[in-house]
Copies of this chain bind each other. A is one copy, B any other.
Amino acid sequence: MTEPDSLRASGSSTDLDPPGVNQLFAVIAYGEVAAFYRLTDESRMAPDLASKIAIASMAASQMRHYEVLRDAMEAKGIDVLAAMEPYVKTLENYHSLTLPRTWLEAMVKAYIGDSLAADFYGEVVDSLSGESAAVLKSVLGTTGHSEFVIAQVRDAVKENSQQRNRLTLWGRRLLGEAITQAQHVLARHDELAELVMSGGAGLGNLNEFFERLQSAHAERMAVLGLG
Question: Which residues of A does B touch, CB under 8 Å?
Answer: 33, 36-37, 40, 43, 49-50, 52-53, 56-57, 59-64, 66-67, 81, 84, 88
Contacts and interface: CB of A to CB of B under 8 A. Distances in A.
B67 A63 contact: no
Nearest to A60: B63
Contact of A50 (B37, B62, B81, B88): B81
A60 B81 contact: no
A36 B49 contact: no
Contact of A63 (B57, B81, B88): B57
A37 B56 contact: yes
In the A-B complex, list the 5 residue pairs whose CB atoms are closest, starting with the nearest: A60-B63, A60-B60, A40-B40, A36-B56, A56-B63
A168 B92 CA distance: 37
A150 B33 CA distance: 23
Nearest to A63: B60
Contact of A53 (B33, B52, B57, B60): B33
A87 to B, nearest CB: 12
6 contacts: A37-B56, A49-B88, A56-B63, A56-B66, A57-B66, A59-B60
Contact of A57 (B37, B43, B67, B88): B67
Contact of A59 (B50, B52, B63): B63
A195 to B, nearest CB: 25
Nearest to A57: B63
Contacts of A66: 53, 56-57
A37 B60 CA distance: 11
A33 B56 contact: yes
